[in-house]
Amino acid sequence: MDDEGKIRKKILIAEDDPVSRHMLMAFLVKWDYEVVAAADGIEALRILESEGAPPLAVLDWMMPGLEGPQVCQRVREQSGRPYVYVLLLTARSQKGDLLRGLESGADDYLTKPFDAQELRARLRVGQRILDLQDSLIAAREELRFSATHDALTGISNRASIFEAVSREQSRQAREGGSFGVIFADIDHFKMINDRHGHHSGDVVLREVTQRMMGCSRPYDTLGRYGGEEFLIVLPGSDGLGALTVAERIRESFAKRPVHTSAGPVPLTLSLGVAAEGGEAVTDAAALLQAADSALKRAQQNGRNRAALADESGMAIDVGPSEEPEK
């Protein structure tokens, strides 16, 4: 494929000789690169260490301040930054010199005087390697996302949300404060599937996810615990604060149905709330058990309500005609 129509690739050229630098720039601009130029090694390193640094770099070996191999070595010492493909330009042709350049972390080299078409071909090789790396990183992130998120709703899956509870419990044990959890269950979800079909059931699950997210804070964590059951982790919330969030979620469904291709689907939720704070620290499993018991209490008391478990394991219920305590 021709270079025309492609997104312009950003490239750094570091060359202290003005004539050689302008000649390189002319070639690269003609080949549709976005060129960033440096006149010495120190300036080249500064550019490569900055945000949005060019992913391609052509470094002259001999430069004031820092030589090309020194710049390359400094770049390779940095961890956690995007990879830079480095091509060294050098008049040196001794095998030992070339090995030194490669050992400094350079990906390729070209001896002066260079052939313009050979330079272009080598830069294309570098770009293909960068593109392949981007594809591998994207595939890795996709696998990581799939391993920790629910495929239907896109939120945390059971294992991931349980880890969020454990992390928050560990933080609370170290730093104090409190946090709450909410178990939410769609009332009579099997009936929804039976009456409206499983496709509509999937629409309902996705809509439940969106409305819960709309009722939660940006730093709360929402996960699908299993089937039609969801779990929310609320850092910094005590029991009554978490109960207020649960009631807000309940009301968001009680007031309006979920619209599907099979028609509007009336929907209610039952929610169980538990919180942990102060000096007493229980384990994550015990906290989830308390929230689950509160959820069962809400269901037994008529559904479409939220229930808060207190320290004795009892539950404070909030239903359609009630308001959570302030």
Active site residues: 228
Distances in Å between the alpha carbon of 302 and those of 105, 125, 188, 269, 305?
68, 67, 12, 11, 8
Q: At which residue do the structure tokens 């037994």 appear? A: 300
Bond prior to 113 in cis (omega within 30° of 0) = yes
Enumerate the β-bridge partners of residue 234: 180
H/E element, 111: strand 108-111
Closest CA to 165 of 253, 216, 110, 235: 235
Cα dihedral: 109, 111, 115, 117 (round 10) = -10
Q: How many helices (H) and strands (E) does the chain have?
A: 10, 13
CA distance 149 to 156: 4
CA distance 277 to 65: 57
Residue type, 230: F
CA distance 65 to 75: 15
Say how many C-beta atoms besides its own lie within 10 A of residue 53's C-beta. Answer: 17
CA distance 241 to 10: 50
